[in-house]
Homo-oligomer: A and B are copies of this chain.
């Protein structure tokens, strides 16, 4: 951590600040330039609160040298984390492909889709039971009934299931029912929920927030890991930019950044990322080409009658085609599928 001091700060103030920092067990190295003076801090600065330092009148600004996350940091855990969930693995050489409908709608629907995506090569079944909808008047999901239908589909196909959790009240139920608990983009900084999930050992799929920096995303993973649950899978699902042609802007360089900064696996969701069905196959190919550990894809047997997000869902036939395409890409980048 580096402190840039205000121009013309009296020595007495520098001494006062230095004493305060040294009192926390940190060494302070001053660098005195012609116009500016900076202080270099050495030691475990994760315990130093930067906002407290910034409140000193003599502090111009604080610059971070090291990343603020520890357990998620590749610096302290050089090997890739491989997460095991209901028989599927995420983060190893094999790609993880999570596919299924945005919303679970009926037993027939989820079972049909589950069988189809399994046949095409999916390794995890996705399906929404509790749906975060922007409008309070939109369909909110089948809730507990949806979970039951997902379990039935797992029973029939053997595919592990991932589904989104919206309330801390439902954690116990989800831990019992699903194989991976999804935290949606809008809850990425719902710290109360993250903290509760850190107390379980269930794999968590943590979606990147709509305008979350890579560092904030990893800090949210850190929340879960700090509680004792290191089974975190990251999911890039597009960020909000000024561009309105697509629902979001998929940030594939974030996959690279995350894999450099952290040991956690990361998958890409081209369905929410683009909001357009016809963009899903090429963006899925690009995600694998860039080095993602897998995909999360919306597949619906009848997109026109989907109760949510039909415009970004592909059919099982399309999905079979996508799998064929990414197989070739996976081979080219040395991954299995």
A132 to B55, CA, bound (A): 19
Taking a contact as CB atoms closer than 8 A, the residue among B29, B249, B288, B290 that contacts A239 in the complex is: B249
Are B135 and A219 neighbours in the complex by a CB distance under 8 Å? yes
**Using a CB-CB cutoff of 8 Å, which residues 237-269 of chain A contact chain B?**
239-246, 249-254, 256-257, 260
The interface bits of chain A over 210-238 (1 if a CB of B lies within 8 angstroms of the residue's CB, else 0) are 11011110010011001100000000000
Complex-state Cα separation, A288 to B286, whole angstroms = 8
| Chain B residues with CB under 8 A of A252 | 250, 252, 283, 286
A215 to chain B, nearest CB (A): 8
Q: In the bound complex, how far is the Cα of B278 from the Cα of A291, in angstroms?
A: 13
CA distance A49 to B305 in the complex (A): 11
Which chain B positions have C-beta within 8 A of A46?
Answer: 137
Q: When the two chains form their complex, are residues B191 and A244 in contact, meaning their CB atoms are under 8 A apart? A: no
Complex Cα spacing A226 to B138, Å: 12
Contact A239 B243 (CB under 8 A): yes
Minimum Cβ distance to chain B for residue A290 (Å)? 4
CA distance in complex: A110, B51 (Å): 19
Candidates B2, B32, B291, B309; contact of A38 at CB < 8 Å = B2
The answer to whether B216 and A134 have CB atoms under 8 Å apart is: yes
Q: Is A86 an interface residue (CB 8 A)?
A: no
> Is A68 at the interface (CB under 8 A from chain B)?
yes
Contact A137 B47 (CB under 8 A): yes
What mask results when residues 278 to 296 of chain A are scored 1 for a CB within 8 Å of chain B, else 0? 1100110111111100000
Report Cα–Cα, A138/B223, bound state, in Å: 11
- Closest B residue, CB atoms, query A284: B289
Encode contact with B along A296-337: 1 for CB under 8 Å, 0 otherwise.
000000011111111111000000000001001101110000
- Which of the segments A119-127, A145-153, A165-173 contacts the partner chain? A165-173
Contacts of A84 in B (CB 8 A): none
Interface: A155 (CB within 8 A): no
CA distance in complex: A190, B192 (Å): 11
Given that A245-B214, A246-B253 are known contacts, is A66 also in contact with B36, CB under 8 Å in the complex? yes
The answer to whether B249 and A55 touch across the interface, beta carbons within 8 angstroms, is no
Question: A176 to B278, alpha carbons, bound, how many Å?
Answer: 42
Given contacts A55-B310, A191-B132, A286-B286, contact A242 B256 (CB under 8 A): no
Most chain-B CB neighbours within 10 Å: which of A211, A219, A307?
A211
Contact A135 B222 (CB under 8 A): yes
Question: Is residue A54 contacting chain B, with contact meaning CB distance below 8 A?
Answer: yes
B2, B168, B226, B245: the one within 8 Å of A213 (CB): B245
Q: Please, how many angstroms separate the alpha-carbon atoms of A239 and B249 in the complex?
A: 10
Say yes or no: is A22 at the interface (Cβ < 8 Å to chain B).
no
Contact call A68/B168, Cβ cutoff below 8 A: no
The 8 closest A-B CB pairs, nearest first, are A55-B310, A211-B211, A54-B311, A328-B332, A289-B289, A186-B189, A31-B40, A286-B286
13 interchain pairs, CB-CB under 8 A: A31-B31, A32-B42, A38-B40, A52-B304, A134-B216, A136-B191, A136-B219, A136-B227, A186-B190, A211-B211, A241-B251, A245-B253, A250-B251
Other CB < 8 Å A-B pairs besides A252-B283, A286-B289, A329-B332, 4 of them? A2-B63, A7-B75, A243-B251, A250-B251
